[in-house]
Amino acid sequence: MKKTIMIKPRISSILPLILSVLAFVSLSSKAIDVDGLYSASIEIQQDTANRALQRLAFTDVLIKVSGNSLVANNLVIKKALNRPREYLVKQSETRVADKRFFNTSFNSQKINRLLRTSGFGVWGKNRPQQVIWLVVDEDFARTIRGESDLDYAQFIQNSLQQAGQRAIPLLFPIMDLDDELEVSSADLWGQFTAPVERGSVRYGADNYVIAKIIKLPEDYQLSWSMYGRNSKSQPFEIWLNGKSQGQLPELGLELSNTLANYLGEKYSVKVSGKNEQVFLTIDRVNETRDYAQLMAMFSRLSAVGEVDLSSVTGSSVQLKLTLLGTPEDLLKELELDSRINSIQNSFGDTRFEWAGQ
C-alpha cells in the first residue's frame, strides 16, 4: 500500500515529518556535480589480462557509486565481478608518456540495480565539497600548509588523488594572502572554528576538516576533525574525528578513504521498499525548457523511482514522485543540487524554487 506525503510550499503545519527532516539538512550549501561515476581508468601493468583489468575497473566504479570501500566483499557483488562484460558498455586503451591506461564505461542502470539488490545504496553525482585545513607542528613551530606545499606534498597529493578515486570533491586552501589574513596556525591548532568557517566560504565548502600533523622522529602523527552542519540556522559541529600514525602517503590515503566512507553512508540512497509517493511543488518554472530540465533532473535523483506531472498552476509545477528511498533521502539530494532553491521564511514555512542550469 502506497503512503502519500504532500509537500507544498508555505504550508508547514501539514508537514511535520518533512519539515522535521529539513531541520537536519543545510538548505544553503550546494555541492559539486561529479562526472565519470560510471567510468574508470586503470594503469596497465605488464602482462595484466584484459579480464583482470575489467574487474579492477568494475570494482572502482562500484566503490564510487556506492560510497562503500568494502562493497566488493559482498557475495552477490563478488559473483557480478566475475562477469564484468555484462555491465561493460565500452573499453579503450590510451597512452600517456610511457604509461598505458585501460579506459572503461559501465551501464549506469545495471550498476544501480546491482547495488540496490545487494543491499547497498546509490550515491548520486551531487556531492558535498570538502576543504582540508592542514597545520603542522615541526621544529618547534606550527605552520599552515596549502595545496602547493612541497614538504608535505606526499600527504596532500595522496589525499587529493584518493579523493578523486572515490569521487568526492576535496581541496586544500591555496594559502595566499587572503587565507593567511583570515586563518592562523593558532586558530587551527586550537580548533577555533569561526575564522576557519569564514576562510572556507571562498572555496564553496559544504564541510571542512581541521587536520593537525606532528612530526615525530621516525614518522608522523595525524589527528583531525570533520565539521558539518545540519541546518543553515545552526553552527557547524564535529561530525567525525580521526587519529593515526605513520608515513605521510599512507596518512593522506587513509584520511580521504575515511571521509569518503562516512559521506557515502550519509548520502547514498538505499531502497526502502515502501514506494512512498510525494507531491512536490516547485515555483518559478517559467518556460518549456525549464520544465524539461526539471523533469530530467528529478528522473536522475537516486531517491526517485518515477516522476510524473501532477498539475500546473501558472509558473508552479506539482510533481508526483514515487520514491526508491525515503523523503529524508529526497530532501538531502535536493539540498545538494544548485538547480533547486529551498527557502524558509521567518515563520518556518518552506518553498521550493527552480533556479535552472
Residue 327, in any domain of the structure: yes
Helices 248-267 and 327-335 cross at an angle (nearest 10°) of 130
Q: Does residue 288 share a domain with residue 200?
A: no
Q: Does residue 180 share a domain with residue 238?
A: yes
Q: Does residue 262 share a domain with residue 132?
A: yes
Q: With 0-12 CB in 10 A as exposed, 13-18 as middle and 19+ as buried, what is 163?
A: buried
Q: Does residue 315 share a domain with residue 255?
A: no
Q: Judge whether 11 and 281 are in contact, CB under 8 Å.
A: no
Q: Does residue 255 share a domain with residue 132?
A: yes
Domain span holding position 239 = 126-267
Residue 34, in any domain of the structure: no
Q: Judge whether 250 and 281 are in contact, CB under 8 Å.
A: no
Residue 305, in any domain of the structure: yes
Q: Does residue 144 share a domain with residue 93?
A: no
pLDDT, one tens digit for every residue, the chain (357 residues): 344 333 433 323 223 333 333 333 333 445 788 999 999 999 998 888 999 999 999 999 999 999 999 999 999 999 999 999 999 999 999 998 889 999 999 999 999 999 999 999 999 999 999 999 999 999 999 999 999 999 999 999 999 999 999 999 999 999 999 999 999 999 999 999 999 999 999 999 999 999 999 999 999 999 999 999 865 657 899 999 999 999 999 999 999 999 999 999 999 999 887 888 989 899 999 999 999 999 998 988 888 989 999 999 999 999 999 998 888 888 888 887 878 887 766 556 678 899 876
Q: Does residue 304 share a domain with residue 287?
A: yes
CATH number at residue 145: 3.40.50
Q: Does residue 254 share a domain with residue 150?
A: yes
Cα 337 from Cα 258, distance rounded (Å): 24
Residue 135, in any domain of the structure: yes
Instruction: Name the domain boundary from 267, 302, 325.
Output: 267
Residue 51, in any domain of the structure: yes
